[in-house]
Amino acid sequence: MILNDYQQQSLQRLLRKKNMQQLYQAYIKPFNTKPYPKKFLDIPYGKQSIFQKMDIYLPENHPGPYPVIIYIHGGAWVLGGKRQGCMYPPLSFLQHGYAIIGANYRLSPLHKWPAHIHDIKAVVRYLKAHASEYQLDTNRIVLWGDSAGGHLVELMALTDGVKELEDPTFGYMEHDTKVQVVISWFGISNFAAFENESSALTLAGKILPHFLYKQFPYLMFKQNIFQDTKLVKQVSPITYIEQANYTAPILLQHGTKDFLVSPQQSISFWNTLIQKFGSSICELDQIEGAGHYSEEFVTPENIYRIRKFIEQHLQR
């Protein structure tokens, strides 16, 4: 038998027709911007790549300045974008008076780490610098991401001012990159553990030729991250908890049947966070039976749960 019982159940969950449709909508199906009248599309926040653009959607019939939700898409750092179905959950917050930002960032293997996190920090600084143009409230900023985007927003919660993750050439360095709330869906927090915990990597290691399996990390970061201890630490959000003197409140949500990113990633991150900052700084929802971006995450009940967490910490 190639996989153990848990891995088989998780793979079956991933391959369910309904789950595959959900993944298709989130990461592949084009997103229609026409239903959203108040929008500013393809705003460049950098000059190094065509990926460095964002879309801004503003609420109708709500006075500004608006609290802000910046959504960072997933896609294993190699695919995805700001105009795919993953934007539907955050855009539902328009009716509650939020400004919604969908941001692209540079992807591998064309671009090498840390370009990904450089871009997310540049997005936050750009929005703070241009807040008056769009009536944005820079004291009420939320970062929300899934999968690879979840990894990036977890990093953002802990690394304001960390020099090795900064690129001053973007400008606006007079602004920090602190945000007030972070929502992470099934993100990777510890790459040192990821290689052994991921059922997907376990399966790949057993059924793929060795040389192909070893290309997985290269596709993700344009280098074999698992062979570089220093790099493993640099890309792992859990690394920064001990030295951090600030973190945004974080809601972690992870499915118990996630085949791609083990729920242990979020469990360990939550445990380490509350040991450092106390139990009020981070909440963990283990969503029973849910897979990687499965339908349980986008139910009205779960979106309401997320909204209440955000409102609690923004004190709206």
Distance between CA atoms of residues 154 and 169, nearest Å:
23
pLDDT reported for residue 18: 63
Helix%, strand%, coil% for the chain, nearest 5:
45, 15, 35
Look-up: residue for tokens 């997985």? 216
pLDDT reported for residue 192: 86
2 burial (CB, 10 Å; 0-12 / 13-18 / 19+) is exposed
Amino acid (one-letter) located at 70: I
Structure confidence by residue, pLDDT tens digits, 20-34: 677 766 677 778 888
- Whose CA is closest to 228, among 112, 78, 105? 112
Residue ranges per domain, the chain?
Answer: 5-314
- Whose CA is closest to 75, among 56, 51, 55, 98? 51
Q: Can you tell me whether residue 46 is helix, strand or coil? A: coil
In this structure, the strands spanning 66-72 and 99-103 are parallel
Q: Please tell me what DSSP assigns to residue 189.
A: -
- Residues 304, 305, 309, 315: what is their CA dihedral angle, to the nearest 10 degrees? 30
In this structure, the strands spanning 53-57 and 99-103 are antiparallel
Structure confidence by residue, pLDDT tens digits, 133-155: 999 999 999 999 999 999 999 99
Angle at 283 between CA 187 and CA 152, to 5 degrees: 25
Q: Please tell me what DSSP assigns to residue 144.
A: E
Other residues' Cβ atoms within 10 Å of the Cβ of residue 177: 24
| Contact yes or no for 122/201 (Cβ under 8 A) | no
> pLDDT tens, position by position, for the chain (316 residues)?
455 665 555 555 555 666 667 776 667 777 888 889 999 999 999 999 999 999 999 999 899 999 999 999 998 888 899 999 899 999 999 999 999 999 999 998 888 889 999 999 999 999 999 999 999 999 999 999 999 999 999 999 999 999 999 999 999 999 999 999 999 999 999 988 876 655 455 544 444 444 444 555 556 665 666 777 888 899 999 999 999 988 999 999 999 988 888 899 999 999 999 999 999 999 999 999 998 888 999 999 999 999 999 999 998 5
pLDDT reported for residue 9: 56
Structure confidence by residue, pLDDT tens digits, 269-295: 999 999 999 999 999 999 999 988 889
Region label for 31, one of left (φ > 0), alpha (ψ between -120 and 50) or beta (otherwise): beta
End-to-end CA distance of the chain: 53
| Contact yes or no for 240/165 (Cβ under 8 A) | no
pLDDT reported for residue 29: 76
Distance between CA atoms of residues 281 and 288, nearest Å:
23
| Contact yes or no for 231/113 (Cβ under 8 A) | yes
- Burial of 253-264, coded b for 16+ CB within 10 Å and e otherwise, reads bbbebbbbbbbb
CATH of 5-314, one of 3.40.50.1820, 3.40.50.300, 3.40.50.2000, 3.60.10.10: 3.40.50.1820
Look-up: residue for tokens 């991401």? 145
Distance between CA atoms of residues 122 and 169, nearest Å:
10
